[in-house]
Amino acid sequence: MKELEIMLELKNVNKMIGEKLILKNVTLSLKEGETLAVVGPNGAGKSTFFKCTVGLLQPSGGEIILDGEVVNKKSQAIKEKIGFLGHESFLYNNMTPIENLQFYGKLYKVTDIDKKANELLKKVGLHLFRDLSIHSFSRGMIQRLAIARVLLPDPKILMLDEPHTGLDLEAVALLNAIIKEKQKNGTSILIISHDFEQVHSLADRIAILKKGKIVDQLNLNGSMDLFEMKNWYENVVLGA
């Protein structure tokens, strides 16, 4: 059986912000086709971890390797190989949904942009609003459009920071269906989340980040129910 390729690897990553050490020798990997969830209490460093991983922040020490290439803020691999969904939508309020996707399609060098953009707007339920300026869109609609933006270049790795926040039940179901479709297609997925129900439903493996360190990991693979997973998390966080 072929050993799965490591798509993302963090090696002894540190991050200083001002005088404070936020990330402390973080070592973690994400395999081809795997979904990894990183969870942790408030102030654990999850947002900093995410920003370093997607190239928005440069680590103070250590390496982040994406599909064999060391990541930095200027790395072209960031645009070409990953799709990341963070707290910011990176959308332009003075543009329509179709204009936003056309802009990013050109940036990502997507072929047949118009066709793909329209297909994605249908997938996320925004096709009827394709020609309206997004400045009046609800947070949920903006999140749907941001999901379409992330999927546009068909990335090898998806990185999602609290992706279910601000979504209604219909949009949560839509996002989960998209994530599961990507899982079937072999996409590697990293999720930062505090929503244990979604983590349990979607992740193959969980890592706990506390005080800037990875303190434990757990393979799920259907072997543990939601209650047991929560107990494991609480015991690790309280005892770590």
User: Would you say residue 229 lies in a domain?
Assistant: yes
Average pLDDT over residues 112-125: 95
Rounded distance between C-alpha atoms, residue 87 and residue 54, angstroms: 13
What mean pLDDT is predicted for residues 90-112?
Answer: 94
**pLDDT value of position 3:** 62
Which has the closest alpha carbon to 100: 64, 142, 139? 142
Which is more confidently placed, 116 or 5? 116
For the segment 51-89, what is each residue's pLDDT rounded down to a tens digit?
998 888 889 999 999 888 887 766 665 667 888 898 888
> Domain count of the chain?
1
**Can you tell me whether residue 213 is helix, strand or coil?**
strand
Answer whether residue 214 is part of any domain. yes
Provide the domain limits for residue 32: 6-92+154-239
Q: Which residues pair with 188 in a beta bridge?
A: 157
CATH code of the domain covering residue 160: 3.40.50.300
120: in domain? no
pLDDT score at 89: 87
pLDDT tens-digit readout, 4-46: 689 999 999 999 999 999 999 999 999 999 999 999 999 899 9
Q: What confidence tens digit (pLDDT) does each residue in 170-200 have?
A: 888 989 999 999 999 999 999 999 999 999 9
And the tokens for 22?
């936020």
48 found inside a domain: yes
The residue count of the chain comes to 240
In Å, how far are 97, 130, 206 from 49, measured between CA atoms? Answer: 30, 34, 15
What pLDDT does residue 169 have?
87
> Is 116 inside any structural domain?
no
- Tokens linked to 152: 């546009």
pLDDT in tens, 67-76: 888 877 666 6
Whether 113 maps to a domain, the answer reads no
The pLDDT score that the predictor gives to residue 222 is 73
pLDDT of residue 118 exceeding 60, the answer is yes
State residue 238's pLDDT score.
Answer: 86
The answer to whether residue 148 sits within a structural domain is no
Q: CA 222, CA 142: separation in Å to the nearest integer? A: 33
Asked whether residue 107 carries a pLDDT value surpassing 80, the answer given is yes
**What would the pLDDT profile of 201-223 be if each residue is shown by its tens digit?**
999 999 999 999 999 999 997 77
Please state the rounded mean pLDDT for residues 115-141: 94
Compute the Cα dihedral for 82, 85, 87, 90 and give only its sign: positive
Q: Band the pLDDT of 1: cuts 50, 70, 90.
A: very low
Residue at 128 is within a domain: no
Contacts of the segment 120-125: beta carbons below 8 A, 24+ positions apart: 120/148, 120/151, 120/152, 121/97, 121/148, 123/148, 123/151, 123/174, 123/178, 124/148, 124/174, 125/170, 125/171, 125/174
